[in-house]
Structure 1
Amino acid sequence: MPVPDYQSIMLPLLKLVSDKQEYKLNDVTDILSEQFNLSEEEKSELLPSGQSLLFSNRVGWARTYLKKAGLLDAPRRAAIIITERGINVLKQQPAKIDVRFLKQFPEFVEFQTPKKGENTIAEEIVTIDESSSQTPEEALENSYQNIRKALAQDLLSKVVSLSPAFFERLVVELLVKMGYGGSIKDAGRALVTGKSGDEGIDGTIKEDKLGLDIIYIQAKRWTPGNVVGRPELHKFVGALAGQGAKKGVFITTSE
């Protein structure tokens, strides 16, 4: 089954700790993953940032919301235990526990209400729509990814509008900034006039700071959608062979 959203995890989580014993959050996560019949692939699914596991993160947010509503307590770091309020809630046999359900508790309402002067973007995301399946962290990450994608498109449009010589210099500077050996001056020797003396090669960069191997570069500033085809790549391979080169990097604004 798909990884359940954090609101769907709340009731199973509360039921799991209903014996009033203290549980480690990692143990709870493992037990819940079995209850939801998650596959190994689903257990390994990551957030968009790739920094944490999706299911583990959602269990963490379910725990946070239940704690803010006073249904769970955290006697120590990464540990949880049910409270008397949590026991009383389970006695009501609710069909579901979600954000709407938790709003009956004043502490939770206070948690979701931004304080005066603190209504930042982050605060607005914490007060996420109660019908949303995304945790605040997921909403923030997805917003970040959307902004990053839009910025990338804007940068690409700007680069395409400039000259091919600018793009060639940009590629070399990028590789130097990424930590490859050599300097902008060394790498740009073939780029001074905006074209290389060797057909199909626009510049060189040292693979590491010791300069043990040279990578030859070809940069094509083509309009997106105008696909770089076999002839251009064959020409580049031929140029590499002419230099006795072992390695080359072909970079384009297209595909």
Structure 2
Amino acid sequence: MPTYRAVCASDAADAVLQAALLDELLQRILANSPAHFEQLVFDLVAMGYSGSHKDAAAQLGRSGDGGVDGIVNEDRLGLNRIYVQAKRYAPGNAVGRPDVNGFVGSLVGLGATKGVFVTTSTFSQPARDYVKHLSQRIILIDGQELAVLMIEHDVGVRSYWMVEFKRLDEDFFSEE
């Protein structure tokens, strides 16, 4: 059973390292400028849409942007669009329903049906409940989810060390 214990220890160590990386990512995001955060959000949200990132996303503005920070095109022609709002809030400063309601109001004014609201903090429960019953499709991504997505899509991280696992080579022991 030593192999089993080694695997369990490895899984536990991996969980500790993963949690530390999530925390470190959020700290670094908060240490950088709001403009850097918005760019990070667009890099992440635009992945996989309409060819290059340059063609996929357009930033609309800075503070006072009317509740929408940018647009991501789901297709090359820009027929399907996702509107994005990014809020870089300190931990413990949850995004509330009024902020989400303002974003939804901007979407209605633009005739939009899809939106992604990203924060470095969390969303209040009333904000989460509010988006469940809308005709628009709104995705809320909090800081922890943002950090997980960054790791999954290699945004702001890189592989440092790879672990190789061995298994029995059945062909080697075959006496045919």
TM range (shorter): 0.5 to 0.7
Structure 2, unpaired ranges of 5+:
123-176
Give the root-mean-square deviation of aligned CA atoms: 2.3
Answer yes or no: is 1:143 the counterpart of 2:10: no
User: Normalized against structure 1, the TM-score is what?
Assistant: 0.43
Give the alignment partner of residue 213 of structure 1, picking from 77, 80, 85: 80
The answer on whether the counterparts of 2:55 and 2:76 sit within 8 Å (CA) in structure 1 is no
1:251 match: 118
Structure 1, unpaired ranges of 5+:
1-64, 66-111, 113-125, 127-133
Q: Which structure has the greater CA radius of gyration?
A: 1
1:223 match: 90
Answer yes or no: is 1:153 the counterpart of 2:23: yes
SS of aligned partner of 1:215: strand
SS of aligned partner of 1:248: strand
Q: Which has the higher contact order (CA 8 A, sep 6+)?
A: 2
CA pair 249-182 structure 1, distance change in 2 beyond 3 A:
farther
The answer on whether the counterparts of 1:182 and 1:205 sit within 8 Å (CA) in structure 2 is no
Deviations 1:169-216 (A, max 9, x none): 110011233x2335433455325xx51774010011123567441000
Aligned equivalents of 1:237 and 1:162: distance in 2? 27
Answer yes or no: is 1:169 the counterpart of 2:39: yes
Q: How far apart are residue 220 of structure 1 and its match?
A: 0.4
More helix by share: 1
The answer on whether the counterparts of 1:172 and 1:187 sit within 8 Å (CA) in structure 2 is no
Percent of aligned positions that are identical: 49
CA pair 138-207 structure 1, distance change in 2 beyond 3 A:
farther
CA pair 161-250 structure 1, distance change in 2 beyond 3 A:
same
Aligned equivalents of 1:238 and 1:224: distance in 2? 26
1:238 match: 105
Deviations 1:123-181 (A, max 9, x none): xxx5xxxxxxx73212212211210110110110010111111111110011233x233
2:151 match: none
SS of aligned partner of 1:139: helix
